[in-house]
Chain A
Amino acid sequence: MVTMTALEEELSRIAGSVPDPELPVLTLEELGVMRGVQVLGPGRVEVSLTPTYTGCPAIEAMASDIERALHEHGVPDVTVVTVLAPAWSTDDISEEGRRKLTEFGIAPPRPQGPAGGPVPLTLAIRCPHCGSTDTELLSRFSSTACKALRRCTACREPFDHFKEL
């Protein structure tokens, strides 16, 4: 781990507090996509960001939102670079992020450990509306690649589930 200077920590906090463009209840820090902030010189900062999915179109909006936030904080020269490794995992979403997802009506991803990929349906997914664990899968892909569409068999409401990756 590279140790950050006080300035880098401050800039990291500002960049990390930018909301996710598709799930605005979450900050980029809570989503776990921030990979580092480096001051390259006076007024020159590089931010490393990792995409949730390789093809996630939100990454470009995230990059320009970070640039704007840091410009407003007086950093004239901001570069946002994308890093792929180590790959992002839904385990990188913070506890606070999970709580906010549920509040927003999206069932948070289940913790999964090192293997990755589709999780066998052993752990129940809880309906974010009524709390029932009696839910069924409607489609493995929903409004975005990172979500699956489910329905609660108790309250009959459909809901998104942030699927494990």
Chain B
Amino acid sequence: MTGTTDTLTAAAALALGDDALVLSHRLGEWAGSAPVLEEEVALANIALDLLGQARVLLSLVGDEDELAYLREERSFRNSQLVEQPNGDFAHTIARQLYFSTYQHLLYGRLATGDGPFAGLAAKAVKEVAYHQDHAEHWTLRLGDGTTESHQRMQRACDALWRYTGELFQPVEGLDLDLPALETAWLDSVTDVLGRATLTVPSGPRTGAWSAGAGRQGLHTESFGRMLAEMQHLHRSHPGATW
């Protein structure tokens, strides 16, 4: 990586890097409490992939540790979807389905051409394909499972729906055909939900208060608590090493 990232590239790297970092931390919160051992390992592995992406992206902006551990809430540029609490397992899977579908399409587009993210995107798109595969299989299993699992999966899809519009708001520094990305995302999610016997949520995908807000540094209530936990050790013991 060169030390002279231009301002627009840095802005985009911060948004995409924060998405990866924050979702990585959320998934890491499942360690020790996932429903089965295999899922514990799966969620931790997905978190690790995302952390690797975050490290590459944040290193384009500045010092990765300072960016992760010493920024205030308002300085984070992640979308509000990824900061949503894990909820029950269905909520985590719905968040994974929405986000991995988006990220797979996004990296697929960034991988073509010779933009500043092409190298990372070409690599990460292959990893994210497994994240998407994982989310799809669980959506099918829960949606087309028992009455209880179906209800919970539907509730989770409905609850997170309002955060999905933000993913297709313009990101400073990224030159993308967002309407095409959004259409492809809707087609893919609609297909999976249909096969899972779930109903595509009917509510709005953005609220007046939430449209694009995470990318501008406005976050939901639970994000502050998540950051407090994530940053606590580094802030209490600056420079601590193993």
A interface vs B, CB < 8 Å? 51, 53-57, 84-89, 116-118, 138-145, 149, 163, 165
Contact = CB atoms under 8 A, between A and B. Distances in A.
Nearest to A143: B41
A143 B48 CA distance: 12
A53 B51 CA distance: 11
A57 B242 CA distance: 15
B122 A87 contact: yes
B120 interface: yes
Nearest to A54: B52
Interface in B39-61: 39, 41-42, 44-46, 48-53, 55-56
B123 A85 contact: yes
B133 interface: yes
Contacts of B38: 138-139, 141, 149
A30 B60 CA distance: 31
A86 to B, nearest CB: 7
A54 B41 contact: no
Interface of B: 38-39, 41-42, 44-46, 48-53, 55-56, 118-120, 122-127, 129-130, 133-134, 137
Nearest to B55: A55
Nearest to B51: A55
A27 to B, nearest CB: 22
Contacts, number: 79
A143 B38 CA distance: 9
A85 B49 contact: no
A53 B124 CA distance: 8
A106 to B, nearest CB: 16
A88 B123 contact: yes
B130 A57 contact: no
Contacts of A163: 130
Contacts of A149: 38
B41 A165 contact: no
Nearest to A55: B52
Nearest to A164: B126
A84 B48 contact: no
23 contacts: A53-B52, A54-B55, A54-B127, A55-B51, A55-B52, A57-B48, A84-B119, A84-B120, A84-B122, A84-B123, A89-B126, A117-B126, A117-B129, A118-B129, A118-B133, A139-B42, A140-B134, A141-B42, A141-B46, A141-B130, A143-B41, A144-B45, A145-B45
Given A53-B52, A84-B56, A140 B119 contact: no
Given A55-B51, A117-B126, 18 more contacts: A54-B52, A54-B53, A54-B55, A54-B124, A55-B49, A55-B52, A55-B53, A84-B122, A85-B118, A85-B122, A88-B123, A116-B129, A139-B38, A140-B42, A141-B41, A143-B41, A145-B45, A165-B127
A55 B137 CA distance: 23
A117 B125 CA distance: 8
A118 B52 contact: no
